[in-house]
Structure 1
């Protein structure tokens, strides 16, 4: 049986991995749920800020016969992406985006364009770096009838919703701003990504890829499309894929903090 380490076990969001990868024997790093997890399943891990974090973690894996690691923090994934080959030399798999996948994730526009070019349905989107272009893009996406999400092209998870129809401050957990205030976004961002936003049709899928091949999926939906996504983008690691109806809205690495 595969022995796997899950980091950031103090965050309850990691525990669905037990159900997803039910054939694994899990141990947990940095857990505070001592009453729920036996002492034999708990490991004390080095801090990400420590200079030799990678080698300390490698030694812990070797000492405990761990052959799979689920790194669940953004900073851990950033550091360990450079150590994928090192761990593989000891037959330890790191379930996280490699350097190529990480580079791609910082350009959601490129992802959407590449998927669309390869025949995969993507949500209607536009990019702009001028107010004139912004106004035109909103109209092309269906404003004011449609809600439009606005984000930095390099940080697609930080989203504002342009909505003059409702007076709520939030829509599906995203901050809402009127169109007239949207220009303020340009003071901080060079390139903006605009996407049609319909939370009522949202569905989130978690998928694991190795060398572009789909290994497993949680909350299955459009399995054929997910296979294509992995192959086209040559993904490695665990990913959260957000659909609206049957169209890709967002793709990001799965982490809890």
Structure 2
């Protein structure tokens, strides 16, 4: 989806809009909205979606345009804040089935994020062969899960992002909010946009980084800024709720990996991700 096709009525689309800069090919302008803040900076998944939208405009042109991210890896180089941003894209390879490009997001001349991605056309694979041993997380229905309105006030104050999401967490994975983390390193729940915006490949990038850090469930307080995030988009999601599960198996010396799966309302695994995060342990 290019900036001209963006539905400005939805908060996610407004928050990820990129505008091609006149007279400067492959350069786009964006405005980072502080309403997507978590901790001290803009949410990493939202930033990834902005970068991915710019790359879709870069790689999506022509008869064999490739507008859907298949795989995207971003390195977060400095904290992004509310305000203007510039995105610079480059096509590395253009093929018949997939194309590869890079994008950098800058503010005030300082690079905040750099990503490399492979794009294609997910519609071409909609009816392809699917073989998976993965199973969706077993969750209570959304109405029996814990909404953001029940989160501790101190948590909400640091996560304006929550007001932009309809996020319902599995009660079995929110003991950390009451001072009783399970120690398993798992947080899971349901996600949809409260303004009715249905999920698509770009929204899956946000979903892969939408839950609280799994270090909370290990009993480790403090935010966990993302250093690197890779998302694989496997299919265009069906309308409706997304089911998310985030987990970590290893925290060591202030760093942890976090794996995520995103399942759509049809029960299909539509995205997978892994990130490396720096956990700021509260003393």
TM-score normalised by length of structure 2: 0.24
Higher strand share: 2
Which structure has the larger Rg?
1
Structure with the largest fraction of helix: 1
